[in-house]
Amino acid sequence: MKQQIDLKLLQQQREERFQKSLFGANQMTQQIEDKPANTKVPLLSNENFVQIYVKCTITPEFVAQKELREDNVDNEIDIVFDDVIENEELGMKKEYNVFVERQLVQQIKLLKQNYIEKQDLIKMPVCGSNGIRLPEEQDLLLYFEFFKIRENSTECQLLLQSQDLKSQYGLLICGCLFNDEIAQDLSFKLLTKKPTLEIIMKLLLVTVHYESKYQMYMYKLVKQLLYYYNGILKEITDPLLSDVIQNLKQLSIEKPNIIRVNNKNFSLKINTTFLYPLYKQYEKERATVFKPINEYTQFQVLRNADIPDQTEDSEYPHIYIIQKQSDQQQYLYGVQLEAHAEIQIYDNKCEKYQKYNDSYLGCVERNIWGTSMVVYDDGYPESAQLQFPDWIGQKRRRLMKIEYETNIMANEPRYFDTVYLNLDTKQWEELITLRPHYNQEKDCYQLNFFGRAKIASARNFQLIKAGDDKTIQLLHGKMEANSFNLDFRPSLSILQAFAISMVSISSKALVS
């Protein structure tokens, strides 16, 4: 009973703080109820200040909750005033007024856009998620104070350093609402000065919900953290996580979509469903190399053995690069660490190539004889499926299977039978090798490569659809010792065509 009285008292005190304005107690702002369209909103602005009416709407499905540990029922009040999480049952205030200096209205874009001249009023809607706190009056007032000194980095840092953790999160939220990158940068830098697992998860909540410039970075960071937690990623590369990984025992996953951070007194529960838009955005960013190309395009594939890790006894690892011939734009990198090993595919050149890092896109796995290859994307292995919540990564997909006809003498073209997944139609399609004709007079196989091959090689080949030998779907021609032309048309993707090229170029167990 006493606990309920304390909670009511704390809520009442909180309401009083919301009602305070820049004009003092004798000019308290009034909560504006929903009224008919012809009802005037009371105006409290004057020549120096403009009233902002903030109205918040909250989605019903929970995104985050802070739950008491069963052995810590006495600390419920500590949870009420969390810096980010705000539980639904607290009766969160959804409407309030705040005042801003009139001169700032013209300087802050969002205020200028929402200013209603006839009413001398700014209406500011905010969309909230159940569990992530909304911007409060004191957050907006802090942001307005920050905005006036935002060009002076020293003063800004002093202002932020004087604030408590909740106010620093509040400035980050306001920086997102007002699309102020300076406010976002400074508050994010300060909040990550001594990161913990809890801080990382709360930053994920705030940056994603309020669409911060850091939302994709935080999404990838947490993805990297979970891959490391599950033993798939062998080494953490982001320095922000170097201390966090020491406390991964606090982390737990509940299928299908719950992440928990368990501290001494409470459990932070996150519903990953809210990450779905980021998951789709992440997929869209990679569509250039995963989805079928739009038109017949000419590329080059280069094999470069001259890299820092090379030893005198071996030419491995090999680096393969695919670039568009017209502008030399580089799209993907393939890495084969040793002969007959899998080939890993990345979207950038890395100082250290590590499977499942942020640049990793997939791999080409092979059987021991080098006659059968399977191309996978960057998803986690099926065996780890229960260790990942929805919308953070996905189970890996098979993108292509290549059956390779061995040719020990290397005196004939290499024959492929390839089936691949069209990621637009979700259908499997097949390509086969266009068979060359044998010229008895010249004692060699011949096929017209239209000037796209300059050196006779078993690595010169063309792929077609069965029953249609008039339309070349992919052409692979050797130009120099480590340079190959690669031309292909829809519905192959860049990654799939690149995989075919690398399979052809790389050494096999039975074919040199």
* Residue pair 100/50 in contact by the 8 Å Cβ criterion: yes
Distance CA 469, CA 257 (A): 49
237-261 confidence digits (pLDDT tens): 899 999 899 889 999 999 899 999 9
Whole-structure pTM value: 0.83
474-498 confidence digits (pLDDT tens): 999 999 989 999 999 999 999 999 9
The winner for highest mean pLDDT among 22-26, 57-61, 72-76, 462-466 is: 462-466
Q: 509 versus 173: which is more confidently predicted? A: 173
- As a whole number, mean pLDDT of residues 190-202 equals 95
What is the distance, to the nearest Å, from the Cα of residue 315 to the centroid of all Cα atoms in its chain?
35
* Residue pair 85/268 in contact by the 8 Å Cβ criterion: yes
pLDDT value at 77 more than 50: no
83-94 confidence digits (pLDDT tens): 898 865 444 557
Distance CA 411, CA 408 (A): 8
- Residue 16 dihedral angles phi and psi, to the nearest 5°: -65, -40
Q: 469 versus 377: which is more confidently predicted? A: 377
Q: 81 versus 172: which is more confidently predicted? A: 172
Residue 49: its pLDDT value, please? 94
363-396: buried (b, 16+ CB within 10 Å) or exposed (e) per residue? bbebeeebbebbbbbbbbeeebeeebbbbbbeeb
pLDDT value at 46 more than 70: yes
- As a whole number, mean pLDDT of residues 387-399 equals 93
256-283 confidence digits (pLDDT tens): 999 999 988 889 999 999 999 999 999 9
Provide the sign of the torsion angle of the four alpha carbons 398, 218, 335, 243, taken in this order.
negative
Residue written as token pair 């935080």 = 218
Short-list 155, 195, 178, CA closest to 54: 178
Where are the strands (E) in 63-114, listed by range?
64-68, 95-101
Residue 310: its pLDDT value, please? 45
Residue 251: its pLDDT value, please? 94
Of the given ranges (352-356, 367-371, 405-409, 453-457), which has the lowest mean pLDDT?
Answer: 405-409
SS3 state at 38: coil
pLDDT band at residue 62 using 50, 70 and 90 as cut-offs: confident
* Non-local CB neighbours of 443 within 8 Å, separated by 6+ positions: none
Residue written as token pair 């099926």 = 382
pLDDT value at 187 more than 80: yes
- Cα Rg, the chain, nearest whole Å: 30
Residue written as token pair 């602005």 = 45
pLDDT above 90 covers a percentage of the chain that reads 64
